[in-house]
Structure 1
Amino acid sequence: MSTAAQQPRRAPLRVPAAVGCAVLATALLLALPSAVGGDPDLGPVPRTGGAGWWAVVAVLVAQAVTVVWVSRSPVVALLGVTALPLLLAWAAPGGAYSLTAVAELAAVFLAVVARPLRRLWGALAGAGLLLATGQFVNEVGRGAGAGPAAAGAVAQAAVVVGLPLLVGLVVAARRDAERARRNEVLALRREQDAVLAAAMSRQRTALSRELHDIAAHHLSGIAVMAAAMDRQIESDPATARRSARGIREHSRAVLDDLRRLVGLLREETDADRPPATLDAVAALVRARRASGAEVDLVVAAPEVDLGPLAQLVAHRMVQESLANAAVHAPGARCVVEIGAPRDGWVAVVVRNGVPAGPDPGPGGGFGLVGMAERAQLVGADLTHGPTADGGWEVRLTLPLGETVGTVDATAPRPEAPA
């Protein structure tokens, strides 16, 4: 936290501290004559209301005003609050000089709390030197010898500077520890927010892929059947009616898939939802055949040991590839192949021939991106590109067994046929 941000919290402390110093020092000054009556060694003291007495009051008030500026300018304030008593030691030496230590104690404490100690060493040394000098001049003025006066001056400086210095360091250390704890809490909150944002981003990406698959699979079939029905209404009404029924079935399937997706968003289970597995690929092929497309299904092995997530990836790849073929290769014959396991891998291939109609042009490209992201999730390989006969092929090579991002990247993958 910056120093500027700390100022509003320290500002209210300076004025009460200065007022407290002025009130306390003045009260002690008023009580000083009574104390001297019990212990003459404390004297001499100025007469109450006399010129010397008002000089002491002026110095004490000036020190209190200087304390107000300690937090803003600690170096200047420390030197000022310890230099002012030099005037008093020279003009009116006596027991009243010791009262100037009240503001000096407060100034050192506030300075240590307000600023790092490494920035105050020079000011503290200067304040200690000024304090010792003033104490020495005051003691000599009271008639003490040079030796005792020097010893008393050093002791006075050590106490007045050292005691608040230690207390201020303890307070500053506790404050810094509390600030560090607050910063740690804020850092943890920011980290949690970042993790939550990343999770939300992944969920949005997954939902966008699901929505894309639903729309691409069903709506492309609806578009193909609607185009065919438009031509068949006059020439082949019976076939047109079948196309209309197919459009109705695809529309119902779209609504069902969207309803299931909304159910996932609501965190509700859907026990009636059919699993998206390799066994369900046959249903995808039948749905495409019902829309008038020519699709062949070739299954080399009746059972394949794939985990549920890998089967979902394969199912979505076939669904997306058939939808792409319907849009970009109209009238082309498609083949869906589920190969036999080999060397711990199994290949799922969707291949279409030469289109009978024109390609409407490139799409948004999200279908292939979604397939690649799903393949990466289970450690699979996804390749796609044109075939030698002018068609298009999408090949997904999946690792066998339960694998969720734990596939050994060094494991050999089966080579795709030329």
Structure 2
Amino acid sequence: MNAPVRILTVADSDSYVKWGAALLERAPADWEKSLLVLATPVLPSAEQLNAALVGIDPQFAQPSIVDLSALAVRIASMQPDVVMLSVRGPLVKVVFRAVLGAAARRPVIMTGLPGISIPANRRAIAYRMQADLFVLHSRREIREFAGLAEVMGVEQRFGLATLPFLPHKNPSQGQDGDVIFAAQAKVPWERTDRLALLSWLAESARRHPYRRVVVKVRAARGEQQTHAERHDYADLIGDLDRPAPHNLVIAGGAMADHLAGAAALVTISSTAAIEAIALDMPVLIVDDFGVSTRLINTVFEDSGLFGNSGDVVEGRFKHPDPAWLADNYFHAVEHDDWVSGLEQLLVLREAGQLAVKKQKQGAFGGILRRAWDRKRALGRFDRSWTGSLALAVGTPARWVFMAARRLRRMLLPST
């Protein structure tokens, strides 16, 4: 009898823990599954970790937290067949190298993105180009990323997976349920825009005193998250023109808990909108700040979900166009092919035909560059002297390189 496939997921920030654990749970039942959290500057707090793992198999409820050296020791002892790198882009190649260096036999390495990934991003591909399988969550994402990879000259295999944390039960909801605003660290970015958004939510709460308007944040003050947040809503609430109504609240915790029994969801572009749609909950995508790549909301074009500040205040929420759903995250689950993709790669591995792809971008500099990558990704959790040396040498060199590149761009139009 063949031994079961051993799959290890390595995660870092709260959103990647949530995604990686949920996707790991979807792997075949007869596979041996393990989850580790890598210590990095965005290490989730205990509260964030608990929220990320709500509803996940109890065997993953208390994952070990390891540094890169300890991860290498675990790889050497476990000898996994598959390693899922559920980590931020700059960390992928760092962990990839550590895994290959520690494994007696090269495992299949998969990676992916934890939420809405439209539009396709060059850096997302560049960071992950050595992975054997890149998991995405809609037909549209596969098309756009595959097309961009071809333009970049990157050979990449993509796998389709239904967003693993989508809820499956329709909660009891009604008009009096909470309205949830899914906050994001980077969108909108400017303080004035975030304050305006908070003022619209406050006015909606005043006009509908029978329900709560909940600003659901990803991190409490002092906690880390995937993207740094410059203007915290908890700080801004005291700067409103009028005192905040009692039924406008700011809360953390698991999104699934907030959606249970909620009446509607409001956001700029959060993946929480997809979770709400799965529950047949009305949604409002606020477009007062525009529709653009920077706002990460172009994916909702033609969805029928866009609305403005007046809709926020009046509580006018929407349901998506059915034609949009099939191409965006709501394909039939039988079209998922990420597991079969892994199985094909495991066959190649058995045959000794699974080559390590070359890192085409961001590889110049040899050992010093690798130490630089590690120090930049791990920060204080990289205690190596080579990392400190690379940072000391590389930081001014990078400034010179960036200045030269900017100068070249300025001069090019006139030549």
TM-score normalised by L of structure 1: 0.21
Higher helix proportion (structure 1 or 2): 1
Indicate the structure (1 or 2) with the bigger Cα radius of gyration. Answer: 1
- Greater relative CO, 1 or 2 (CA 8 Å, sep 6+): 2
What TM-score comes out, normalization by structure 2 length?
0.21
